[in-house]
Structure 1
Amino acid sequence: MTSLTVNKKRRIIPGFHLSLGYTTLYVSLLVLLPLSMILIHTLSLSWAEFVDIVTAPRAVASYKVSFSTALAAGLLNVVFGTIIAWVLVRYQFPFKRIIDGLVDLPFALPTAVAGIALTSLYAPNGWIGQFFNFKIAFTPLGIIIALTFIGLPFVVRTVQPVLQNISAEVEEASASLGATRLQTFGKVILPELAPAILTGFSLAFARALGEYGSVVFIAGNMPMKTEITPLIIMTKLEQYDYAGATAIALVMLITSFILLFSINIIQWLANRRFVQ
């Protein structure tokens, strides 16, 4: 076999070099260039100034609120998003298509509208909040509800196609070998769903970290308690403190990248284990 034949087999995509060039240009202009501006603005600060800004008590408190609520919302979406995907795939019931379409509503709904709607529901005098003896809105719990709302479609839409591709014959074979329903789900279905669940979680988590519109209304924005990091960034931008805003944004960017990179590594290991 000649080297030309080998090269032709390796180059599956027509016009690979041209496609790679367009891809690199697109990613550079829309992703790398804007992110590099964060670093450039931050470099105008000295190291001492940078440390003072990103380690200020108010900023550190906002990191805790943003990351803890995003993590909690992501885990909730993994549980309930998987259940919703399971119901939509495995069962037939009236108005199924309508409910299936409603799952995508957070994608199309403006985030500010979602925030106002959730606040009116869960405020102390709201339709739902009035029935609870504790506050939901203007607390971290309200933030988690808002982030769960906007992140749910990511999990449902990544798990749903995988469930549709799992043959019912596999479950029947497992049952015929004496496995219970729980054993079938844990040893047959869940390993196939794990990569999709991790993908959905990473997407929901990433969206929750940067969410602003739906959270700013229901959070109450109390410093040291319910103030999220994107709000601090917006406040500094309104004060024309671009260096301070980009410094905090850089911390969020690096931390988010490390977390998402770790999740991708776990997903890669899960896929590799599944293939083997």
Structure 2
Amino acid sequence: MTGFEIGGASAADMELIRTWADEEGWNPGDSDRFAFAVADPAGFLVGRIDGEPVGCISAVRYGSGFGFIGFYIVRPEFRGQGYGIQLWHAGMKRLDGRLIGLDGVVDQQDNYRRSGFRSAWNNVRHEGRPRRDGAAGGTGGGGGGGAGAGVEVVDAATLPFGMLAAYDRRFFPEARDAFLSAWTALPGRTALAAVRDGRIEGLGVVRPSSGASRIGPLYAQSPQIAAALLHRLAEHTPDGVVAVDVPDTHTVATELLTGLGLVPTFEAARMYTGPAPQLELSGLYGVTSLELG
């Protein structure tokens, strides 16, 4: 392993990492890297052999007690030579002393367990064009009318950011204001909120990707609100085809999406190094990102 070095990612590296993730079939958002960079600018590591990037990992710190591992990739031609484990140790060292989470692909989950991670649930990606008929159809009419009495679906940018951040905090272990601000406002994205009597009762963001447009997060206080947001967000995509990563423990969310005609296409285990954080899982209809939580 002569000449192998690990260092912080540059802006060019962030674009390369996104390309590698796409080649792995993960379908990252086209502009995710810009929000990732503000979440923790030093949290993205690249391994190089004589200056050539051959692998990467993200180890992003949130607040004082939480961290998230993602983008653990070694280029296929460099696998099995010990580079990956060095990247892994570098990422874990950066998050030492924190509760650490990750979304583990199937073929790596045993390795993560050997490093002390335990499964909390599986995030199952559902893809398709949400229909308006069937078991859940009609719940998400235009204008947010299908979201329930007194609920209005609005552009999230019209709400005080503090309201959005406080709502997000119900579904994530630490505050992540800088990330959330970028995530909801990057060009090409649509962020919608469901509001009733001045309170946020749902939030969804859709972003362009190389495959199906990705929706995440998708938070809602009822299936009707989730469906209304899903339909409205799908209207802001080129072809109406979307992908949502849904915790399999949330059976109501799974039934909603399958009832709307979306089908499972990908699965990753949400894993933690300690007890799973206390989140409002009943309102979590779609996680924000498999790379950063």
State TM-score, norm by structure 1: 0.24
Q: Return the structure number with greater strand share.
A: 2
Question: RCO higher in 1 or 2 (8 Å CA, sep ≥ 6)?
Answer: 1
The structure where helix makes up a greater share of residues is 1
